[in-house]
Amino acid sequence: MFTDPQLKWEFEGVAVQRSVPAGTVLMQAGDAITHIPIVRKGSLRILAQDGEGRERYLYHILPGESCATSLTCCVAKRVSSVRAVVEEDAELLMIPVRYVDAWMAHPEWRKYVNEVQAQRFEELLEAFEVVAFHKLDEQLWNYLVKRAQAGGDRTLQLTHQQIADELGSPREVITRLLQQLRASGRVSLGRGSVEVHPVPVAG
């Protein structure tokens, strides 16, 4: 990942590789952060949680990326504020948190951390815009597309209730909106699954 010989040597000396199957909860809100994950293969789904335990989808972490929220929390010595779920079978490099701040002396590491945080900030702004200004049917479509892209599979093994939980909406509303998406040809619905169809490009 890095070209600086000293940083590369230190990184390879402490990074622990983990293979984690899809569906694994890597981190819960309130957990102490001991390691920072960097995704080599697969993807992670990040969800925020409020004081009553309700969750909302935020963003995905893809190969080469890390969790900006975890980076921020570990530097500030705070517990995790998000839940991280393995979207598809993943290979992770786990970095002990004590190195996150120590490696800031390396320009290449500092640049990596800044880029991760900048990208996540943009995605959080996008998520806020979708929630604040877009109708729920647009939020649902955006959510389905993001999950299909992150998992590399247009067929999502999801129930209507699971989708409702992550979008903070009643299941009945999600079911109605999914049926509308099916009527417009954008999804196919199966038992416990949703297949996302690409939107044709006009021209």
Per CATH, is 134-196 categorized as 1.10.10.10? Answer: yes
Q: What is the pLDDT of residue 89?
A: 92
Query: How far is the C-alpha of 55 from the C-alpha of 167, rounded, in Å?
Result: 7
Q: Phi-psi bin for 53: left (phi > 0), alpha (psi -120 to 50), beta?
A: left
CA of residue 139 relative to chain centroid, distance: 16
Any idea where the domains of the chain sit in the sequence?
Answer: 5-132, 134-196
Residue 100 has pLDDT above 80, yes or no: yes
> How many Å is the Cα radius of gyration of the chain?
18
Chain position carrying tokens 């647009």: 138
Query: How far is the C-alpha of 185 from the C-alpha of 194, rounded, in Å?
Result: 12
pLDDT tens digit string along 54-95? Answer: 778 888 888 988 887 777 766 667 788 788 999 889 999 999
Query: How far is the C-alpha of 189 from the C-alpha of 168, rounded, in Å?
Result: 21
Positive or negative: CA dihedral 86, 91, 94, 95: negative
Tokens of 40: 């080599």
Crossing angle of the two packed helices 107-133 and 68-75, in degrees rounded to 10: 120
Q: What is the pLDDT of residue 33?
A: 86
pLDDT tens digit string along 15-59? Answer: 999 999 999 999 888 888 888 899 999 999 888 876 666 778 888
The CATH code for residues 5-132 is: 2.60.120.10
Name the pTM for this structure.
Answer: 0.66
Q: Are 11 and 85 in contact (CB under 8 A)?
A: no
Chain position carrying tokens 């993001």: 146
Share of the chain above pLDDT 70, in %: 88
